Chain A
Amino acid sequence: MSMRSVLRDSVPTPVPTPAVTAAGGGSRRPAIGIDVEDLDIYYGDVQAVRGVTLAIPAQSVTAVIGPSGCGKSTFLRSLNRMHEVAPGARVDGTVRVDGRDLYAAGVDPVLVRREIGMVFQRPNPFPTMSIRDNVLAGVRLNGGRLKKDAAEAVVERSLRGANLWDEVKDRLNRPGAGLSGGQQQRLCIARAIAVEPQVLLMDEPCSALDPISTSAIEDLIGQLKSEYTIVIVTHNMQQAARVSDETAFFNLAGVGEPGQLVESGATTKIFSNPDNPSTEAYITGRFG
């Protein structure tokens, strides 16, 4: 990726990437981890998230759980500078991706987002585009020209990667909006991985889907983690326990207070023997 050099210029001392856990064998390239240090996020005058320090390991699935309004999605969106889309949003603290400071002066958020993809809560395929064009959107919209067979290769590889190829290979020219909700969400995942990001952020990707589609997406997440670093926000505790290697629990510091990271660690530990009583209370369903 040529844009990496653009980012690297702004970083004086590369921080070593966090230890790789659960690395799947046979990956094409090493995915990268994310180091978050003392991150504060504001919307205008309102502080939404306070003091998050978290290491997200490469080539693993990190689940972010917590009650509604505790800043999970905001935190996730700050990892590829998508929160800046909202007016008045700003950030204090550092986020290092592969040692490069995401918020250093001179970093172009557009280049960041090409490396750190995102899947949203509601499937949002482009309604004017066919299934094929949706997959190629990231490449085409960025001004890239692809030869026909190269484009076909990207489409097939991405759709296979999203477990959607067999379902849509005969109707690639049909509109993407004509698929079912679960298929649309997998199409969005295919679209995200078509630009070959290093990191995939997922903001409650299954909350609008039925259990069968959810299961399909969860299987997909399990396969994708051998090649990508995945961060997933979810309200579904079982889902977090099923798909993730690491779990981070967010909670509000109090009524009207910003959200904060309560506890993070290996999923098995968080779900069996959490350090913080409020984590245990949330996981066992006593609040939230």
Chain B
Amino acid sequence: MSTRNRSGDTLAPPPAPQRDEAALALRGWHQPRLPRGAGWYAAALAVVVASALQAGLGLPLLPSLLTGWAVLGIGLPSLSRAVEGRRKAVDRLVSIMVSSAFVLAMVPLVSILWTVVKNGLPVLSSEFFTYSMRNVVGEGGGIYHAVWGTVLITAAAAVMSVPLGLLTAIFLVEYGGDGRLAKVVRFLVDVMTGIPSIVAGLFAYALFVVFFGPGVRMGIAGAVALTVLMTPVVVRSSEEMLQLVPHELREAAYALGVPRWRTIVKVVLPTSMAGLVTGVTLAVARVIGETAPLLITVGITDSSNFTLFDGRMATLPVFTYSSIMSPGVPPEPSIARAWGAALVLMLIVMVLNLVARLVTYFFSPKGKR
């Protein structure tokens, strides 16, 4: 290309242009690109800059990180603008923004996980899982009573709210339609979804005071409070799952002369079983960590109590709260137990989520296999 415009040799015919085969094949389509992985290199460079600022120049962490991020966010798009053109530069800029937002959102999550695991893991021992806090002062003791309390109260809440929520959802999808009653129920469920957990706790407490007098504490009251919180979640998720069942399947059953209730029990529910179970599991995971309502209705105790209908019970969230807030002397073992209980609670929720996934996998309708 560069040989053509030499001044002087006007008489000589221009030499036959040395056409590059590759360039010919890409006429009008060719656009230089930054090397593959340029984004990763730039990110690595930004990290290097940030750590150099912090370690080398002694800047605080936040300014160093921001400077590194600015190097990445301004440097890479500018370079890209010069080499690749405007469209690619915008692409890289937006990619950086999106990835940054993702990393930012992950920071608290990872931080929580790390803190809980770091502080909770050393406490876990066979004694921690098999002993209650009865007659324990200082070191030792465990969360046996709190694990059982959480399991029993949450199970009782599930036993109450799952039939209630599922039947409500069946009414809304299969019978209510767009009728007035269905609209009212939907609205009330929406309102219930927004009830603060402390209000649910107060409601359950007030309800039990009516029957048992002031100062009542029992596990079932906590289960009622959790039911108030859990039912709307179950209704909402079940309603969505039931609506996903194709109308053709219901028609197919009707056309075989199957009554409506049998169609629901034998066709609609089995078809949506995976989604229903997942929804229930997630609702359980949602309420298992509730502290405020249980604090009011169930309280806390040091001993094991397996009776939902008689007196205080320990639960993992309330145990964590009270271990931190009133640790006793010396405080360290109690605080360590609080971290351990938090870790166990987190593990239970994680296991529940895993179970939900397994259920989805095994229960979902089988197509080509």
- Enumerate chain A interface residues (CB-CB to B < 8 A): 80, 82, 85, 87, 110-115, 117-118, 120, 122, 124-128, 137-138, 140-143, 174-175, 177-178, 188, 191-192, 195
The answer to whether the Cβ of B258 comes within 8 Å of any Cβ in the partner chain is yes
- Considering the complex, which residues of chain B in the window 259-316 have a beta carbon less than 8 Å from any beta carbon of chain A? 259, 262-263, 266-267, 270-271, 273
B256 interface residue per 8 A CB criterion: yes
Decide yes or no: A128 and B365 within 8 Å by CB, A122-B248, A141-B267, A142-B262 being known contacts.
Answer: yes
A120, B248: Cβ atoms closer than 8 Å: yes
Within 8 Å of chain A (Cβ to Cβ): is B196? no
Tell me the residues in window 208-253 of chain B with beta carbons closer than 8 Å to chain A beta carbons: 246, 248-253
User: How far does the alpha carbon of A127 sit from the alpha carbon of B249 in the complex, in Å?
Assistant: 9
Chain A residues closer than 8 Å to B114, beta-carbon distance:
none
Given contacts A85-B251, A141-B262, A141-B267, contact A127 B256 (CB under 8 A): no
Please measure, in the bound complex, the distance between the C-alpha atom of A85 and the C-alpha atom of B263, giving whole angstroms. Answer: 13
How far, in whole Å, are A141 and B369 apart by their CA atoms in the complex?
A: 25
Give A230 to B78 CA distance when docked, in angstroms.
Answer: 72
Query: Given that A85-B251, A124-B249, A128-B270 are contacting pairs, would A137 and B256 also be in contact in the complex, using a CB cutoff of 8 Å?
Result: yes
Residue of A nearest to B250 (CB): A85
**Contact: A178 with B251, CB < 8 Å?**
no
* In-complex Cβ contact of A175 among B249, B254, B257, B366 (8 A): B366
CB atoms of B257 and A138 under 8 A apart: yes
- A141 engages B365 (CB within 8 Å): no
Beta-carbon contact of B271 and A128 below 8 Å:
yes
CA distance A178 to B365 in the complex (A): 11
Q: Smallest Cβ distance from B228 to chain A, in angstroms?
A: 32
Q: What are some 23 contacts across the A-B interface (CB < 8 A)?
A: A82-B251, A87-B177, A111-B257, A113-B255, A113-B257, A114-B256, A124-B248, A124-B251, A126-B249, A126-B252, A127-B271, A127-B366, A128-B267, A128-B271, A141-B262, A141-B266, A142-B257, A142-B258, A175-B367, A177-B368, A178-B367, A178-B369, A192-B256
Across chains A and B, which 7 residue pairs bring their CB atoms closest together, nearest first? A114-B257, A127-B365, A118-B255, A138-B256, A124-B248, A113-B257, A128-B270
Contacts A141-B266, A143-B262; is A124 near B256 (CB within 8 Å)? Answer: no
What residue of chain A has the Cβ atom nearest to residue B260's Cβ? Answer: A110
Contact residues in A for B253 (Cβ distance below 8 Å): 126, 137, 141
> Given that A142-B256, A191-B256, A195-B256 are known contacts, is A127 also in contact with B251, CB under 8 Å in the complex?
no
B254 touches A113 (CB 8 A): yes
- With A and B bound together, what is the CA distance between A128 and B263 in angstroms? 13
B367 CB contacts on chain A under 8 angstroms? 127, 175, 177-178
| B259 engages A110 (CB within 8 Å) | yes
Give the docked Cα–Cα distance between A177 and B254 (Å). Answer: 19
Cβ-closest chain A residue relative to B255: A118
State which of B177, B251, B256, B366 has its C-beta within 8 Å of the C-beta of A177: B366
| New contact pairs (12) apart from A125-B252, A178-B366, A178-B368, CB-CB < 8 Å | A80-B255, A115-B257, A120-B251, A124-B246, A124-B249, A128-B366, A141-B263, A142-B257, A142-B262, A174-B369, A177-B368, A192-B255
Chain B residues contacting A138 (CB-CB under 8 Å) are 256-258
B258's contact among A80, A110, A192, by CB below 8 Å, is which? A110
Interfacial chain A residues near B248, Cβ < 8 Å: 120, 122, 124
Which residues of chain A come closer than 8 Å to B266, judged between CB atoms?
140-141
Cβ of A85: which chain B residues have Cβ within 8 Å of it?
Answer: 250-251, 254
A32 to chain B: closest CB distance in Å? Answer: 16
Taking CB atoms, residues of chain B closer than 8 Å to A113 are 254-257
Question: Which residues from chain B contact A174 at a C-beta distance below 8 Å?
Answer: 369
A138 CA to B254 CA, complexed, in Å: 9
Query: Nearest residue in B to A191 (C-beta to C-beta)?
Result: B256
Cβ of B365 and Cβ of A177 under 8 Å apart?
A: yes
Q: Are A175 and B255 in contact (CB under 8 A)?
A: no
Cα-based distance from A117 to B368 in the complex (angstroms): 28
